[in-house]
Amino acid sequence: MDQKCLLCTLRSSAENKLNPEELEKLSLNCLTVSFKKGDSIIRQGTYSTNVAYLKEGLVKIHIEGPYFTQVVRIVKRGHYLGLPTTFGDKVNQYSVSAVEPSEVCFIDITAFRDMLSSNSEFSSQILTELCKSELESYQKCVNRTQRQLRGKIAGVILEFADDIYQSDNFIISINQQEMGNLVDASRESVSRVLSEFGRDKILRMEGKEIEILNKKMLINIAQNG
Amino acid sequence: MDQKCLLCTLRSSAENKLNPEELEKLSLNCLTVSFKKGDSIIRQGTYSTNVAYLKEGLVKIHIEGPYFTQVVRIVKRGHYLGLPTTFGDKVNQYSVSAVEPSEVCFIDITAFRDMLSSNSEFSSQILTELCKSELESYQKCVNRTQRQLRGKIAGVILEFADDIYQSDNFIISINQQEMGNLVDASRESVSRVLSEFGRDKILRMEGKEIEILNKKMLINIAQNG
DNA sequence: TATTAATTGTGATTTAGATCACAATTAATT
DNA sequence: AATTAATTGTGATCTAAATCACAATTAATA
């Protein structure tokens, strides 16, 4: 009798709606894999028979655009990855890579679908997650196009500080090229803006360590010009 | 005994999974409303107790950005509107307006949730719709930022021709300002590109009537530069 | 049908950010 | 520690598209 999911402390909010029997069934159909920074977790264009759940770590969702790779979003622990594939044509429409060391739980797609149809609370949680992500996409879409670079970079720094690390002093795990892909800017422009923030004493940067010195200002830049 | 949904010929794929009793219950909890071009169907920031289903017509989803309204996408008949609100905080996160005369079916949120939990085939269809829309968002996000204006406008024209009107000769129902909001460009730039397409004999335009004269070329522009 | 409002076309000018080019760091590997 | 590879910083130049400005159409309404 496999109790690994029953005993797992990193279950998703959806999985928390499952009863012990369902959790046991889940245990038999899921597999946890560790990834190092930079590892590919899901590959665009490949066939998939799993849903992935990010138990621990930080990943980026990226799509191969016509000219360069675009980072669509950064996803932190506690979210599913590749849900759209589950209900689509089973071919991954985007790639996911580890930005920090990550633990991913791969769940067999059939078992996942069974849980969806047998447990309506489970499926309601999944629906909620999908809806949130749709809204986030819309918002991102507006941000990407209606703010200028300083604002977008300020926004990303704040996202890392408030949402991801919950600290104003952190080691950022993406490089300037990746940040550029995330905010639709060239590496050089990112570098220039970051230098500017340093000069203006808004940030202190040493290598990948970032400390927010003037948060008010940063928030102001993120919101306005 | 209300049979309007049972007899409705414009049911969604999800509603087609409902049995006659469920359809009767739906009939008692839904209301069809007609909208004229330009009418507001869902208002960002307002409280909502309904899910909307677009039975007929064409609408745009738009969000108030910091500087201007951004048209996130055009939605044609056969899709739900405002699903994210259903599972979110009940406050509409975006607006929806009729671009063409439209028929919208408003379904009480509680009845809708009941169907989701009682009928897993129904909920599976809804999940599928949400997933598709997520993928579409990601793709749109890449298109918005990695193609230049000529390509984006060519893409929009093709979307109207192939997906919305299924004809290479149609009356476009959005003006140049709205098209600009849809492809993140100024009204003037849209005008210039359209004139250019006219000069190059790619399109013939008379007022709002558009005829595609050189589709190969248009497709080429949409894909490449 | 006259008048007002909305939409469109096109030139001139400006600008945010891209691209190019190369030096300076920093990190990874032999 | 030495060498190679990856990342970063910054100036100079270029460019697609924004913005400004205003005339020309077209549509809506009194």
| Domain shared by A165 and A124, yes or no | no
Closest-lying nucleotide for A148 based on CA to C1': C16
Proportion of chain B above pLDDT 90, given as a percent: 86
pLDDT of residue B213: 97
Instruction: Judge whether A45 lies within some domain.
Output: yes
Query: Is B51 contained in some domain?
Result: yes
Q: What is the mean pLDDT of residues B203-218?
A: 96
Listed range (A47-61, A196-210, B136-150) with the worst mean pLDDT: B136-150
Three-state secondary-structure class, residue A94: coil
B135 within some domain: no
Q: Identify residue A107 by its one-letter amino acid code.
A: I
Residues 6+ apart with CB under 8 A from A196: A150
* C-alpha–C-alpha distance, residues A12 and A58, integer Å: 16
DSSP result, chain B: ---HHHH-SS--TTGGGS-HHHHHHHHHTEEEEEE-TT-EEE-TTSB--EEEEEEEEEEEEEEE-SSSEEEEEEEESSEEESHHHHHTTSB-SSEEEEEEEEEEEEEEHHHHHHHHHH-HHHHHHHHHHHHHHHHHHHHHHHHHHHS-HHHHHHHHHHIIIIIIISSSEEE--S-HHHHHHHHT--HHHHHHHHHHHHHTTSEEEETTEEEES-HHHHHHHHH--
Closest-CA distance of chain A to residue B150, Å: 15
Average pLDDT over residues B118-140: 93
pLDDT band at residue B124, thresholds of 50, 70 and 90?
Answer: very high
CATH number at residue A109: 2.60.120.10
Share of chain B above pLDDT 70, in %: 100
* Residue whose entry in the numeric block shows the structure tokens 């016509």: A66
Say how far apart CA B15 and CA B17 lie, in whole Å.
Answer: 5
Inspect the interface and report whether the beta carbons of B138 and A63 lie closer than 8 Å. Answer: yes
The verdict on B8 and B92 lying in the same domain is: yes
Q: Which of residues 52-91 of A touch strand D (CB under 7 A)?
A: none
The pLDDT score that the predictor gives to residue B2 is 83
State mean pLDDT over B136-141.
89
Residue B123 has pLDDT above 90, yes or no: yes
> Is the confidence at residue B217, as pLDDT, over 90?
yes
pLDDT at A89 over 90: no
What local confidence, expressed as pLDDT, does residue A144 receive?
86
Residues of chain A contacting B61 with CB distance shorter than 8 Å? 138
Q: Take residue A104 and report the two structure tokens written for it.
A: 């991913």
Residues B76 and B165 in one domain: no
**pLDDT tens per residue, range B93-119:** 999 999 999 999 999 999 999 999 999
Residue A67 makes CB contacts below 8 A (sequence gap 6+) with: B146
Query: Is residue A1 scored above 80 in pLDDT?
Result: no
Claim to verify: residue B149 and residue B115 sit in the same structural domain: no
- HEC secondary structure over A193-209: HHHHHHHCCCEEEECCE
Nucleotides of C under 7 A from a protein CB: 7-12, 16-21, 26-27
Distance of residue B46 Cα from the nearest chain A Cα, in angstroms: 15
- pLDDT of B45: 94
Tell whether A16 is covered by a domain: yes
Residue that is last in its domain, among B90, B122, B154:
B122
* Integer angstrom CA distances of residue A215 from A127, A152, A185, A198, B75: 35, 15, 23, 13, 40
Among the candidates A131, A165, A195, a domain finishes at A131
Instruction: Using a 7 A cutoff on CB, list residues near strand C.
Output: A 148-150, 180, 184-186, 188-189, 207-208; B 175-177, 187-188, 191-192, 194-195, 205, 208
pLDDT of B1 above 80? no
Domain shared by A190 and A100, yes or no: no
Classify residue A101: in a domain, yes or no. Answer: yes
| d(CA A166, C1' C6) / Å | 50
User: What is the model's pLDDT at position B69?
Assistant: 87
Task: Find chain A residues with C-beta within 8 A of B118's C-beta.
Answer: 120
**Confidence band (pLDDT; 50, 70, 90) for A66?**
confident
Contact B51, B106 (CB under 8 A): yes
| Encoded tokens for B5 | 């949904």
Measured between CB atoms, which of A61, A127, A144 is closest to B144? A144
Are β-strands A209-212 and A203-206 bridged in parallel, bridged antiparallel, or unpaired? antiparallel
Region B210-224 average pLDDT: 95
Is B127 among the domain residues? no
B154's CB contacts (< 8 A; 6+ apart) are: B197, B218, B219, B221, B222
Any bridge partners for residue B91, and if so which?
B47
Over residues A101-107, the mean pLDDT reads 96
Contact B137 A139 (CB under 8 A): no
pLDDT of A2 > 90? The answer is: no
Answer for the pair A127, B116: CB distance below 8 angstroms, yes or no: yes
In chain B, the residue whose alpha carbon lies closest to the alpha carbon of A72 is: B138
* DSSP per position, A118-178: H-HHHHHHHHHHHHHHHHHHHHHHHHHHHS-HHHHHHHHHHIIIIIIISSSEEE--S-HHH
Mean of all residue pLDDT scores within chain A:
94
* A63 phi and psi angles, rounded to 5 deg: -125, 140
* CB contact set of B70 (below 8 Å; sequence gap of 6+): A141, A142, A145, A146, B62, B63, B64, B181, B184
pLDDT range class, residue A92, cuts 50, 70, 90: very high
Closest B-chain CA to A122: B117
Cβ of B121 near strand D (distance < 7 A): no
pLDDT tens column, A151-194: 999 999 999 999 999 999 999 999 999 999 999 999 999 999 99
A126 and A173 share a domain? no
CATH number of the domain encompassing residue A171: 1.10.10.10
pLDDT beyond 80 at A45: yes
Residues B67 and B33 in one domain: yes
Q: Indicate the pLDDT class of residue B152, thresholds 50, 70 and 90.
A: very high
The domain tally of chain B equals: 2
Q: Is residue B138 a part of any domain in this protein?
A: no
Q: Examine the domain organization and report whether A152 and A203 are in the same domain.
A: yes
Residue A115 placed within a domain: yes
Final residue of a structural domain among A96, A131, A166: A131
* Mean pLDDT for the stretch of residues B19-26: 96
How would residue A122 be classed by pLDDT, with cut points 50, 70 and 90? very high
d(CA B87, CA B85): 5
What pLDDT is attached to residue B55?
97
- pLDDT tier for residue A127 given thresholds of 50, 70 and 90: very high
- What pLDDT sits at residue B86? 85
Same domain, A8 and A94: yes
Taking chain B, what is the end-to-end CA distance rounded to the nearest angstrom?
Answer: 58
Which structural domain range is residue B177 located in?
144-223
Per-residue confidence (pLDDT) for residue A53, from 0 to 100: 97
Instruction: For residues A164 and A72, state if they share a domain.
Output: no
Q: Is the pLDDT of residue B212 over 90?
A: yes
**A19 and A126 fall within a common domain:** yes
Q: Is the dihedral of CA A172, A174, A180, A184 positive or negative?
A: negative
Give residue A88's pLDDT.
82
**B88 to A128: CB separation less than 8 angstroms, yes or no:** yes
Of the candidates A51, A95, A90, A52, the residue with the CA atom closest to the CA atom of residue A73: A95
B103 and B55 in a single domain? The answer is yes
Distance CA B70, CA A137 (A): 13
Predicted confidence band of residue B145 (pLDDT cuts 50, 70, 90) = confident
Note whether B145 and A68 are within 8 A (CB).
no
The larger pLDDT score, comparing residue B223 to residue A185, is at: A185
